[in-house]
Amino acid sequence: MTQKMHIKLTVNGEDKEFLAEPRELLIYALRENLNITGPHVGCETSHCGACTVTLNGKSVKSCTMFVAQANGAEITTIEGLGTPDSLHVLQEAFKEHHGLQCGFCTPGMITRASKLLEENPTPTEEEVRFGMAGNICRCTGYQNIVKSILAAANELNASKEAAQ
């Protein structure tokens, strides 16, 4: 065991400080040090995307990053996107269009999709499928996930137009 490091993160707008070994994976730092349990440990081998968070504006798999690398970073998890009382547009769309069954992959799916729509607000179905290719779902067959993301894109664009 090596000496613990002093780690500072900004998670969902809140400053967090804690001690951790540099080898601790970011996903475990979030879940076990900070009790932020939205991002899930799925495959733990950077394939499934259940642990996806937004880190300094990038969608990253938090199982493939040491907490030491993330030191100083700004992180958004599913907890930072919406709340049970005030769902994010993507959460509402997943609910409406049955974009989940067991729900295990959903935090990673929605966190990734939020970044995808930020970079490309009007994606085609093909672009959604390509942009979501780092997230695996074992229930839905993806059809309704794609439908949910396209519906959320329409909703976001409609409210943007209405605001103008």
* Contact (CB, 8 A) for 64 and 49: no
Specify the stretch interacting with another protein by CB under 8 A; choose among 57-65, 79-87, 91-99, 144-152. 57-65
Q: How many residues of this chain bind another protein (CB under 8 A)? A: 30
Q: Sheet of 74-76: strands edge to edge?
A: 14-20, 5-11, 74-76, 52-55, 58-61
Q: Which of 69, 74, 79, 142 binds another protein (CB under 8 A)?
A: 69
145 is a contact residue toward another protein (CB under 8 A): no
Quote the least distance from Cβ 9 to another protein, whole Å.
Answer: 15
114 binds another protein (CB under 8 A): no
The DSSP annotation for the chain comes to -PPPEEEEEEETTEEEEEEE-TTSBHHHIIIIIS---SS--SSSSSSS-TTEEEETTEEEEGGGSBHHHHTT-EEE-GGGT-BTTB--HHHHHHHHTT--SS-SSHHHHHHHHHHHHHH-SS--HHHHHHHTTT---SSS-SHHHHHHHHHHHHHHHHHHHHH-
Shorter beta-carbon distance to another protein: residue 49 or 107:
49
Regarding 66 and contact with another protein (CB under 8 A), the answer is yes
The correct pick among 6, 13, 45, 126 for binding another protein (CB under 8 A) is: 45
CB 99 → another protein: shortest distance, Å? 18
Q: Is 101 in the site for another protein (CB under 8 A)?
A: no
Based on the shown chain and the rule CB under 8 A, indicate whether residue 142 belongs to the binding site for another protein. no
Using the rule CB under 8 A, is 16 a contact of another protein? no
Please report, as ranges, the residues that interact with another protein according to CB under 8 A.
1-2, 5, 21-23, 25, 44-47, 49, 52, 58-61, 64-66, 68-69, 71, 112, 116, 130-134
